[in-house]
Chains A and B, each alone.
Chain A
């Protein structure tokens, strides 16, 4: 009992001191809150954090009027973080990772007067809450343009007679066999193919969005397999630094890696979240409606390319990208034009696809409305192209096209 008394005494002391401290902190009331899975050490989260700061400053929010919570897991801690932001006064709460979605919906139901926005999510158009919204960007357009830079580089290597094999081959480090990743590497491949028709690609998966060691090893494996160029969809510096060490050109993602990889970095595509944040935070403050599914495009500056590293890129890369970009914006060129790729359909591969005798896609039923059985529910081939990010903002292109070989479907 003696020890209990001691514990009680110390507890009381702590609470008294705490009360004194709690009373004296004076801060401005936050308006917007952002929840991030990792912190700035992850290129993925850094991209959101930078955009959040940029957009809030543009809207005239001062420090303390927007809060960024980092290292929030994809579990109830996301709900707790959202709740805390609301209790502090936020009118707008945003979360950046796919696994946050259920917990954001939970918070959205509890606080109908606060706007909740979630990147990469898929449920907003089916849960039908007025205050829960999904957002994404047509990043496949950016990947496609970055792919053109890759194809030009391969042509240059080929002309110099320095290809590792007989034909050009690229390697791609993916995180999961998830539609967002599949859509990304396919559009990248199609971009490269548009200037270097012979190219093939090998893809390997790490089973994690952020695992520096695994990403490095995956890149090294692809390089050892004879890939002439590497790109990646995973969030650490693993693949870019492996390329720099091996002297293999790399098309990066989420932002420039030129400072760490001055000799091998070519270009990087990324989603620029600032336009969305500006739009959504302003709408939340003004009380105007926010789109249930918002898809940013190249045109809205939501999809951007970094500066091209002239040291590593092939000559004329910039001109080629600019020309293709203009066609994409004008609508005269489509990334997933069915004539640009062929598909093989078998019992356990691409079973939702229908093709003509040349192997071109004529119909595809995609799983747009999330459900447990992954039911294919929406026809997405229209006007001679696969219509990506039209029926909801998050990507749903998950076809395995010819020319891309999956080395594994590693789940980590």
Chain B
């Protein structure tokens, strides 16, 4: 009797933190997780839609790469998503949870549209574009610096503050869409005829892609080679340490958010001046939130972000194509995207930790 009570039940396995892992192995785990994700979501597709999963995946690919236009559209979407992701990255590295990128992009776009509508036709297009660039950057930066100042001075919660700033931005944009509406009462601005960013070689998309690539490299250098980048990383790791080594924490917070907002402003500029040529409250299209995932998945490394932004843009466009071709609700394609992302994020766990199975000790009687 007593003997059994004393027996400690051994768990089947335990989880231990891995020491540094070879990059080949890490990428092996990531690759395997994607494969499992496709298998698993394949089963879900069969259960929900009775379609052959291979056909569905093929549709996903053809929806992205069917024609030259499609590939350019994918690249442009990747670039725009990447631009917002770059914007949130310095703040995230500093552990400042900027959930307000959506609003900052909108305000950048609103400032751009304001210039296009109010100054269009009155000054030369070249000058107009210069004004648009300045206005969008200032607009985005102002929207980001307000929560940063409150955080620095009063230690307010930046997650809630930036999130709520999104709603203020949405309402502002809806209001101005009314002020500038094209048909009385309709609430839509329509295509603005002035201040379009120039096309390069008769291609609508390439300018956005080039601008964002340049920004990516610049941000990578800023974060890794400059003192600013180092300082914001230290503030993120430990504010006390930062203070101890003489970093002005408040200054770093405000400066970094200024950069974050300015980059969001640029995204707004590219959306309104380079792509849509109109303004409405859905123009940011949720990129401000998707960007958080892009940035996290890439571990805040701007170069990796090219890949994660491409992945997410690819999934989104593919999901849209699936719902068009198979006439199924977009929710189903979103489920597929969700499953695949879940596995990719889950794989990080297995890279950082390992599962050790415990061998059963055979007791000798």
Contacts and interface: CB of A to CB of B under 8 A. Distances in A.
Interface stretch (A21-29, A193-201, A281-289, A379-387): A21-29
Residue of B183, B275, B278, B325 with most chain A CB atoms under a 10 A cut-off: B183
Interface residues of A, number: 57
Contacts of B178: 207, 411
Interface in B156-193: 171, 174-175, 178, 182-188, 190-191
Contacts of B324: 67-70
B187 A411 contact: yes
Interface in B260-305: 275-278, 280, 282-283, 285, 301, 303-304
Contacts of B307: 7, 10-11
A177 B27 CA distance: 56
A249 to B, nearest CB: 28
B174 A75 contact: no
B97 interface: no
B78 to A, nearest CB: 11
B58 A24 contact: yes
A75 B185 contact: no
A186 interface: no
A57 interface: no
Contact of A74 (B65, B70, B280): B280
A370 B181 CA distance: 11
A103 B185 contact: no
A76 B190 contact: no
Contacts of B301: 3
B187 A372 contact: no
A176 interface: yes
B66 A22 contact: yes
A87 interface: yes
B47 to A, nearest CB: 21
Interface stretch (A94-102, A229-237, A332-340): A94-102
A178 B62 contact: no
A25 B185 contact: no
A19 B188 CA distance: 40
Contact of A98 (B65, B69, B188): B188
Contacts of A307: none
A71 interface: yes
Nearest to A17: B61
Which secondary structure dominates chain B's binding surface? helix
A250 interface: no
Contact of A412 (B73, B174, B306): B174
A98 B186 contact: yes
A178 B184 contact: yes
B184 A73 contact: no
B69 A87 contact: yes
Given A18-B61, A178-B184, A70 B275 contact: no
Nearest to A102: B191
Interface in A1-44: 3-4, 6-7, 10-11, 14-15, 17-19, 21-22, 24-25, 27, 39-41
A75 B187 contact: no
A124 interface: no
A3 B304 contact: yes
Given A3-B301, A7-B307, A76-B275, A84 B186 contact: no
A178 B186 contact: yes
A179 B58 CA distance: 45
Interface in B23-56: 23, 27, 55
A295 to B, nearest CB: 18
B329 A40 contact: yes
A179 B184 CA distance: 8
A182 B184 CA distance: 12
Interface in B78-109: none
A7 B66 contact: no
A270 interface: no
Given A76-B277, A84-B70, A398 B184 contact: yes
B59 interface: yes
Contacts of B329: 39-41
A25 B321 CA distance: 13
B201 interface: no
A367 B66 contact: no
Given A11-B307, A80-B73, A87-B67, A21 B62 contact: yes
A102 B186 contact: no
B164 to A, nearest CB: 17
Contact of A67 (B175, B182, B285, B325): B325
Contacts of B57: 21
Contacts of B275: 75-76
A181 interface: yes
B303 A7 contact: yes
B306 A7 contact: yes
A153 interface: no
Interface string A197-218: 0000000000100000000000
B327 interface: yes
B320 A69 contact: yes
A27 B320 CA distance: 17
B330 interface: yes
A75 B55 contact: no
Given A75-B280, A99-B186, A179-B184, 15 more contacts: A3-B303, A7-B306, A10-B307, A11-B307, A15-B65, A21-B61, A41-B329, A74-B188, A75-B278, A87-B69, A99-B280, A101-B190, A122-B183, A178-B187, A412-B171
Q: Which 3 A-B pairs have the closest CB atoms?
A: A178-B185, A75-B276, A102-B191
Interface of A: 3-4, 6-7, 10-11, 14-15, 17-19, 21-22, 24-25, 27, 39-41, 63-64, 67-71, 73-77, 80, 83-84, 87-88, 98-99, 101-103, 106, 122, 176-179, 181-182, 207, 367, 370, 372, 374, 398, 411-412
